[in-house]
Amino acid sequence: MAKVAFLGLGVMGFPMAGHLAAKGHAVTVYNRTAAKAADWVARHGGAAAATPAEAASGADFVMACVGNDDDLRAVCLGAAGAFAGMKPGAIFVDHTTVSAAVTRELAEAAEAAGLGFVDAPVSGGQAGAENGVLSVMCGGAEEHYAAAEPVIAAYAKICRRMGAAGAGQMTKMCNQIAIAGLVQGLAESLHFAEKAGLSISDVVEVISQGAAGSWQMANRYKTMEEDRFDFGFAVDWMRKDLGICLDTANETGASLPVTALVDQFYKDVQKMGGGRWDTSSLIARLRKLG
């Protein structure tokens, strides 16, 4: 078993850190809001630290799941950052969805400090984190990934190295691009069924058995039908991720016309007050349009 620090106890990080403790790892947690760290310790044991550096002190692995590029820099760098507290040879594993550029920047900083760095964004949402069945896509040196993978396995259904530093983030972008189009297509299909006077349950039962079937259809059609949108990844975070996708597409020359369009649809949902609704709320926008 390893000595592990976990930085960031949001809807994803809280249960992920819990799975590490349940597997017998010695876990120290850090969260910007100290009360949440205290709550985690009350539930799972372990210890809480006042700074990322303190949490990382003596750890074999330091996991992070925070908000964005700036948040990640804040927990990594500076006198109170994790890199300052990590022992030589320790490995930093970043589960945040951030830009590949900041990943490469921090991987270089880690290497200069004698540390390993694995970018390891996740897919599966809050339910996947709670049930320990996340998909984890990783970038970094082979030896760092090989060392970290057995620890990541505490909350992973699948974990795979996709290439050098930044490759995990690039793969996560592929994931978000695919989801954006799928959810919009599902929203339009259900909206069309409603307008046509069809039973959504009957429609889904039939078409889900063919080429139209998807995880989104199986897991979200009923809550979409019932206008319930508190079952997963928030629109605000999806727009952050799609912004990263579109910025990277401009850099690489990739064409993402559907992604760009769906990003604007999510902007409409935010204007409706749905920033914290889950991504399936695209159907609410269609219903508002009539």
**C-alpha to C-alpha distance for 120 and 152, rounded to whole angstroms:** 9
**C-alpha to C-alpha distance for 185 and 200, rounded to whole angstroms:** 14
> What is the per-residue pLDDT across 15-46, written as a single tens digit (0 to 9) for each?
999 999 999 999 999 999 999 999 999 999 99
135 and 176 share a domain? Answer: no
239 and 279 share a domain? Answer: yes
135 and 188 share a domain? Answer: no
Question: How many separate domains does the chain show?
Answer: 2
179 and 139 share a domain? Answer: no
Residues 6+ apart with CB under 8 A from 208: 214, 217, 218
**What distances in angstroms separate CA 37 from CA 46, 55, 57, 75, 257, one per listed residue?**
10, 11, 17, 15, 41
Domain end among 139, 163, 187:
163
Residue 172 annotated as catalytic: yes
Q: Give me the CATH number covering residue 209.
A: 1.10.1040.10
Nearest to 233 by CA among 97, 79, 98: 97
Q: What is the pLDDT of residue 130?
A: 96
User: Element (H or E) spanning 56, and its range?
Assistant: helix 52-56
> What is the per-residue pLDDT across 119-152, written as a single tens digit (0 to 9) for each?
999 999 889 999 999 999 999 999 999 999 999 9
Q: Please tell me which residue in 3, 36, 87, 172 is annotated as part of the active site.
A: 172
Q: What is the pLDDT of residue 290?
A: 82
Q: What is the pLDDT of residue 57?
A: 98
Q: Which domain holds residue 185?
A: 170-289
Domain end among 114, 144, 163:
163
As a whole number, mean pLDDT of residues 73-102 equals 97
Q: What is the pLDDT of residue 231?
A: 85
Q: Give me the CATH number covering residue 146.
A: 3.40.50.720
Q: Quick one: three-class SS letters along 159-227?
A: EEEEECCCHHHHHHHHHHHHHHHHHHHHHHHHHHHHHCCCCHHHHHHHHCCCCCCCHHHHHHHHHHHCC
114 and 184 share a domain? Answer: no
As a whole number, mean pLDDT of residues 44-55 equals 98
As a whole number, mean pLDDT of residues 80-99 equals 98
150 and 183 share a domain? Answer: no
20 and 130 share a domain? Answer: yes
Cβ atoms 37, 55 nearer than 8 A: no
